Amino acid sequence: MKIELFSTPGCSRCAQASTGLKVVLAAFGEGRVIWRDVNLLDEIDYAVKLGLISPSAIAIDGELVFPSLPDAAALRAEIVKRLR
């Protein structure tokens, strides 16, 4: 599974999201979930293709699942559902 966090430079909420995402993903063990931080400004075409309208959004396996930052429980539940 590949999770992408869309952020912009200087976005404090994005930095908090990145930290929170790392904590949630650590519970699933290394290798089960791959994640990358996507700079929205560098990959604007990809973000538009997904339908992204603001930073701190999360895509899973190339699908925009959370258009805004979810809480940890919602993210964890979505990952568990998709790992089954």
Per-residue pLDDT 10s for the chain (84 aa) are 999 999 999 988 888 888 888 889 888 888 889 999 999 999 999 999 999 988 889 999 999 999 998 999 999 999 999 998
pLDDT value of residue 43: 95
Which architecture does CATH list for 2-83?
3-Layer(aba) Sandwich (3.40)
**Domain range summary for the chain, segments of one domain joined by +:** 2-83
What residues does 34 pair with on adjacent strands?
2
